[in-house]
Amino acid sequence: MAHAEQFEELRPLLFSIAYRILGSVSEAEDAVQETWLRYAGSGVRPDSPKAYLATVVTRVSIDVLRSARVRRETYVGPWLPEPLLTDEPSVDPYRDPERAADLADSASMAALLVLERLSPLERAVFVLREVFGFGFAEIAAVVDRSEAACRQLASRARRHMRSGRPRFEADRRKRLELADRFFDALSRGDLAGLQALLAADVATVNDGGGKGGGQGVTFGAVRVARILVATAPSLLAAGAQLERRDVNGNPGAVIRDAGGHVVAAWSLDILDGQVQMIRSVTNPDKLRHLGVPGDIRALVRERNRLRRSRRDSTRADGGGT
């Protein structure tokens, strides 16, 4: 029992390591489960369960990442990490308010996308060193490299991260307040109010994986605001539900259909009092851990049906006068 209890105590840390290496909730959960199977079947009673299990989950994750990268080369449309709800207590492996902001930023979609540029070894070393504070001697044992090699890997990874990682609004309260205003304006269909909250060069990117909704990137406050106002309020009128959540450390939302099935997850990058980036995931394969996936295309069809019905009703009323 102590064996299992030790593992369960460390499970949040193991998942956090695996998710940041893999960018996938489902693959991270599989890596943690594989780690447990190896631990339980090994008969090993390590002096440091944390170091031992971190080693196993990191090695498993590196192997998974190498094969996952081959699959991602043929992915349809933009690839985004699987959305992680970071307002759940179990996501913080340390349950430490002082570390919460750094941990959330390291799980942001923007940070994970920069991590995608690193080699699997660089990514693992960066996560262990910069996010979770492992010493180089520990990391060397984990990745089976010398301490000097790990220092070089960490240095290269830091340079990549500094050059590509975007900035976020440091004040969490300001981020939440602006997100409230954004979603309120969106729900009301307030074009001017929404446009005022968007940076001039705001971008939206959607990961549908060829299975859920469109995919691509849209730029510019005017165009983005118009598209959002033309789509979101009518989807809500068709029964969609917008559930405000923290997604990958940033203000966001989970969108459900009338039956409560998950059809999308949004994450907002906010800086200098404006929304800089809107990332949405509508690929149902990436939403299963959030609940039963819905069919966003069916929701759009229902929205279009209601639009036609209202239009026909208006025409009929006009024809009768």
Cα–Cα dist 291/284, whole Å? 10
* Element holding 19 (H helix, E strand): helix 2-22
Regions of the chain with pLDDT less than 70: 1, 89-102, 166, 214-215, 318-321
Per residue in 258-272, pLDDT tens?
A: 899 999 999 999 999
Q: What is the pLDDT of residue 321?
A: 45
Angle formed by the axes of helices 49-72 and 2-22, nearest 10°: 30
Within a 10 A sphere around the Cβ of 164, how many other Cβ atoms?
15
Site of tokens 């409230």: 180
Q: Nearest CA to 192 among 219, 220, 226, 218?
A: 226
Cα–Cα dist 19/108, whole Å? 11
Per residue in 290-316, pLDDT tens?
A: 999 988 878 777 777 877 777 777 777
Residues whose CB falls within 8 Å of the CB of residue 7, separated by 6 or more in sequence, listed in order: 36, 39, 40, 49, 53
Long-range contacts formed by 134-142: CB under 8 A, 24+ apart: 134/54, 138/51, 138/54, 141/51, 141/55, 142/54, 142/55, 142/58, 142/59
Tell me whether strands 198-207 and 274-281 are parallel, antiparallel or unpaired: parallel
Per residue in 176-211, pLDDT tens?
A: 999 999 999 999 999 999 999 999 999 999 999 888
Phi, psi of 8 (to 5 degrees): -65, -35
Q: What is the pLDDT of residue 1?
A: 46
Cα–Cα dist 203/236, whole Å? 22
Cα–Cα dist 179/125, whole Å? 34
Domains of the chain: residue spans and CATH: 2-164 (1.20.140), 172-315 (3.10.450.50)
Site of tokens 């997850």: 265
Q: Nearest CA to 206 among 23, 80, 22, 26?
A: 80
